[in-house]
Amino acid sequence: MTLYRSVADFRPDQVDQILDRAAQIKSGEAPIASTHQTIVGLAFLQASLRTRTGFAAAAIRLGATPIEVLGLRASDASMPESVESTIRILAGYTDIVVARVDQPLVVPDSVKVPVLSGGDGGPAAEHPSQALIDLFALSQLPVPISQQTIAMCGDLRMRAARSLLRLLTERRPHRLVFITDPTLREGLEWPSELNKLIEYRPLDDIADVDALYVVGIPHGAIHEEGRARLRVRTDHLESMPAHAGVFSPLPLIDEMEREAFNHPRVRIFDQSDDGLFVRAAILEFLLDVPERHFAEDHRL
């Protein structure tokens, strides 16, 4: 069993490999065919739309079939089963498990298949597949990531933001602009080598920003006044360069003004659509499909 809980569980060259394959799949190259009998277990014990349906679709595009467990359910005779036990049972029936949980993702030793976090909880919570999707979205801009000024706006402690920050440490963009409130980065740690790239700015100072990444702000995380200061408006988007893009790992509710959603800078749905290719590349990588095919060829 290998657990992929953090982006750090992927080597930098593996990240490259996954992004390259995602680009190939996007450009029309067929993902390496799996068989209908290959099963992708989706243990989404916390609710999700993009990640769950995105992995289900990616599994099917690969030729595999998903099975879902949504939420923890009590059996008739007992309390709800534990997260660990639920994942262990599902792992016994499947070839890979993607799990979303609200606690640190831990997997029993007896699990024999790869387990990928679809977002976990706790103080070191991460969301590695989302961060790979976000990195892919950044890579679609006409400026290479190494030359991009990337602004992150909102609650920087969100798990997708934490994972993306770790990936960006490796990729080293030109500049990282944090648009946030001190309470929304309380306790957040990042690699010290990022410090010289980081600037703190208000939301109306993004004229040089290539990518605005709207992290999202949980309800109740900050008072309405602070929340309003971090709300993306059309005039902010207008101030950005023409080639710039606005991305988000989450459904935005009031973190962006309703009228701003249709602004040409906003690439959130493209980012979501491309997520399918990234997830297909991730599953292909984790299922190690080529090797399997080789084994099957020999069996014949």
What span, in angstroms and rounded, lies between the C-alpha atoms of 122 and 105? 9
Is position 269 an interface residue for its own copies (rule: CB under 8 A)? yes
Sheet holding 175-179, edge to edge: 198-200, 175-179, 149-154, 211-216, 245-247
User: In the set 252, 278, 281, 289, which binds its own copies (CB under 8 A)?
Assistant: 252
Place of tokens 């998903």: 66
User: In the set 8, 23, 57, 143, which binds its own copies (CB under 8 A)?
Assistant: 57
- The residues in 33-52 that bind its own copies, with binding defined as CB under 8 A, are 36-37, 39, 41, 46-50
Is position 79 an interface residue for its own copies (rule: CB under 8 A)? yes
- The residues in 187-246 that bind its own copies, with binding defined as CB under 8 A, are 216-219
Nearest-approach distance from CB 135 to its own copies, in angstroms: 19
Is position 27 an interface residue for its own copies (rule: CB under 8 A)? no
- The residues in 148-167 that bind its own copies, with binding defined as CB under 8 A, are 155, 158
Nearest-approach distance from CB 170 to its own copies, in angstroms: 26
CB-nearer residue toward its own copies: 11 or 73: 73
User: In the set 1, 14, 29, 85, which binds its own copies (CB under 8 A)?
Assistant: 85
SS3 157: coil
Angle formed at CA 267 by CA 263 and CA 269, multiple of 5 degrees:
110
> How far are the Cα atoms of 165, 225, 226 from residue 281, in angstroms, in the given order?
21, 41, 39
Nearest-approach distance from CB 86 to its own copies, in angstroms: 6
Nearest-approach distance from CB 158 to its own copies, in angstroms: 7
Longest CA–CA separation in the chain, Å: 67
Nearest-approach distance from CB 146 to its own copies, in angstroms: 29
Q: What phi and psi, each to the nearest 5 degrees, are found at residue 279? A: -65, -35
The token pair at 9 is: 């569980």
DSSP 74: B
What span, in angstroms and rounded, lies between the C-alpha atoms of 125 and 127? 7
What span, in angstroms and rounded, lies between the C-alpha atoms of 235 and 209? 14
CB-nearer residue toward its own copies: 128 or 216: 216
Which amino acid, 265?
R
Kindly give, in sequence order, each residue whose CB lies less than 8 Å from that of residue 300, ignoring residues fewer than 6 positions away. none
User: In the set 45, 69, 256, 281, which binds its own copies (CB under 8 A)?
Assistant: 69
- The answer to whether residues 237 and 214 touch, using CB atoms and an 8 Å cutoff, is no
CB-nearer residue toward its own copies: 12 or 108: 108
Nearest-approach distance from CB 192 to its own copies, in angstroms: 28
Rule CB under 8 A: which residues touch its own copies?
Answer: 36-37, 39, 41, 46-50, 53-54, 56-57, 60-61, 63, 65-67, 69, 73-79, 81-82, 85-86, 88-90, 92-94, 102, 110, 119, 155, 158, 216-219, 250-253, 269, 272-273, 276
